[in-house]
A and B are shown apart, each in its own frame.
Chain A
Amino acid sequence: MTPRIVEVRKKVLSKNDELAHILRERLHAAGVFTLNLVSSPGTGKTALLQKTLAAMLARGKKVAALVGDLETDNDARRLAESGAPVRQIQTHGCCHLEANMIASHLEGWELNTIDTLFIENVGNLVCPASYDLGEDMRVALLSVTEGEDKPLKYPTMFHSSDVAVITKMDLAEACDFDRDLAVANIRSVRPEMQVFEVSAKRGTGMDAWIEFLLRQKPQV
């Protein structure tokens, strides 16, 4: 038998990509704008989201959130206090979310009663970069306690994101955080990326972030 070369030309994650594409179309048809929040563990995704959900609800927006974690539903309980519909996705050891997890956890929700959907990914700056969840915007978070060079250490994730948020700005001085250097490093891996600087605890910078979110609409 002679060996034969068979052309395949197929993306390895094509099943996830196809599912994400279908999901995106479904969300757009229902008028939902979707954000995927990524960061290291402990950057403050949940804290930012708690304040964001409450602020957007107060502005009359219909927001909802899906929150991924390896174990526990602590984050979902924290987020549900805002009054927004929230569901926990427990990945049981899986280090990232995939499109099928999003699709299955949206079941039973009337999508046309939602205008903004937040997906809080598992805390991890490596693996979630490879998985399209059907989002319109990927938001990378970086806290001042993590160091200004985080974007250079995880260029793939920061490059694949559309917007960056620097969190815990109330601790910037205590950490000798060099804000200009951090922004320069973010833009080194993703030129011209929009950067927000917030303290969810103190509320500083939150207005600009919320105004930005209120302007977003799904592309139809």
Chain B
Amino acid sequence: MHELSIVHSIVETAAEAAALANATHVSKVYLRLGVLSGAVKDSLLFCYSFSTQGTLLEGSSLEIEDLPVKIFCAPCNQVQDLPDIQRFRCPVCGTPSGDVRQGKELEIGSIECEVP
């Protein structure tokens, strides 16, 4: 379980961004989480609940946007949502493709904070 160290990085990164914006408190952290990021949503939420104490983020919530995997299919010349990460193939024509265009994200999009 490496989610705890990931959450520490989330808190650190968000707190740095908040300090740069002269915020006094952060109420929400918006995270973009790809299915192939290697981090588990429920574990992130669990760790977050006790990792913000004593920081600008205390009492804030972690808002996670789940991002499905998107692959590029050359025969279809189109980016397609991948419904099943056990099968990297175009859901329309069935051609295998490892050309991932979305789904590895583990990034903070924005924070909601109070600025005096």
Contacts and interface: CB of A to CB of B under 8 A. Distances in A.
A156 interface: yes
Q: With a 10 A CB-CB cut-off, give which of A15, A159, A189 has the most chain B CB atoms.
A: A159
Given A13-B6, A14-B13, A130-B6, A189 B111 contact: no
B70 interface: no
B9 A12 contact: yes
Given A1-B116, A126-B38, A156-B85, A8 B2 contact: no
A130 B98 contact: no
Interface residues of B, number: 39
Contacts of A126: 2, 38
Contacts of B76: none
Q: Give the secondary structure class of A's interface.
A: mixed
Interface in B91-116: 96-98, 100, 106-116
Contact of B85 (A14, A155, A191, A192): A155
Contacts of A6: 17-18, 21, 23, 110-113
Contacts of A10: 13, 17, 107-108
Contacts of A95: 1-2
B83 to A, nearest CB: 13
A188 B2 contact: no
Contact of A188 (B88, B110, B115, B116): B88
17 contacts: A1-B114, A1-B116, A3-B114, A5-B110, A7-B110, A8-B13, A8-B108, A12-B6, A12-B9, A13-B106, A94-B5, A95-B2, A156-B37, A159-B98, A188-B87, A188-B89, A189-B87
Interface of B: 1-2, 5-6, 9-10, 13-14, 17-18, 21, 23-24, 27, 31, 36-39, 85-89, 96-98, 100, 106-116
4 closest pairs, A vs B, by CB? A191-B96, A130-B38, A127-B2, A129-B38
Interface of A: 1-15, 94-96, 126-127, 129-130, 152, 155-157, 159-160, 187-193
